[in-house]
Structures are given as structure tokens and as C-alpha cells.
Amino acid sequence: MATEIERKYLVRNDGWRARVQGEIRYRQGYLANSGQCSVRVRIGGDAAHLNLKGATAGASRLEFEYPVPMEDAQEMLRELCVGPLVEKTRYFVRDLDQDWEVDVFEGENAGLVVAELELDHEAQVVRLPDWAGEEVTHDLRYYNSQLATTPFSRW
């Protein structure tokens, strides 16, 4: 059983850009999205995956991910997804000896920039760089599954 533990923060400024170590562009959509579970198909670079996430409890939730053929993923995005696709560029940022992922959203979520930090356990101490702002871990509006049904541009 796989468990994802992460915390999310709004990004205040571009200070993180000087520490970027890589990037990848994602297009993703949701095949199912309920309070209990979300099922997502995602294309990132030349890889495609099907992802299942359980309901969030604190900063933790179950997560399973499986590779799928690119052609299948493209057809799922085109034909089966509910709501607009979530499109973003994810930047991999190393700051304060922590590995951050900064998502810069596009399309109907343009203007939203969120930083995520995956943790080993929920009590792990997080040191915030000066570019990290308000924590939004517990605000469901910032979850990609919610951004697919209620994009940032409609808030």
C-alpha cells in the first residue's frame, strides 16, 4: 500500500526560479472524482500514467500509479475526462535542503502557482523558503482533482 504525505503552499514570488533543477509539463484529466477516490490519467513528457488517490486524512492519502500506453492516455484525455484538463509545468526546486515541486498552472487555472513538499511522515518539520506563502494543504480547492471541476479562473 502506497501512502502520499505532502503539504501545499501558495507561492509569493519568483525567488524559487533561481533554484530550479528541472521541469516537466503535465496534461491531466479525471476519469472519476468522488470524496472517496479520484482516478486521473496524466501525460508528462513521453510517459503516461493512471493514478488513483484516496481521500485525504490530514496530509496523507493512499496513492497508486500505473504506466499506460501513450495512445491510450491521449484517448482517455480526449474522450473520457470530466471537466477541463489540468495543464501545468512542474518545476523541481531544491531549497533549504528540501526537494520542492512548484506547479505553475495554465489554461483555466492560469495565475495559480502552488509549491508541494512530499514528507516521510506527517510530523516532519518543514522549513519554509521566503518564496513560500500560506499553507493550503487542507483547502481542497487547491487539489488538482478540484481544479478540474472548479478551475481557479472561476473562483
CA 2 to chain CA centroid, nearest Å? 17
Based on the residue annotation, tell me whether 91 is a catalytic residue of this protein: no
User: Catalytic one among 26, 30, 91, 143?
Assistant: 30
> Could you give the C-alpha distances from 30 to 50, 79, 125, 135, in angstroms and in order?
10, 11, 32, 25
Q: How far apart are CA 107 and CA 28, in angstroms?
A: 12
Contact status, residue 26 vs residue 42, Cβ threshold 8 Å: yes
Q: Which residues on neighbouring strands pair with residue 66, listed in sequence order? A: 50
Q: What is the largest CA-CA distance in the chain?
A: 42
Strands (E), 12-153: 20-33, 37-44, 47-54, 60-67, 82-95, 98-105, 113-118, 132-135
Catalytic residues: 30
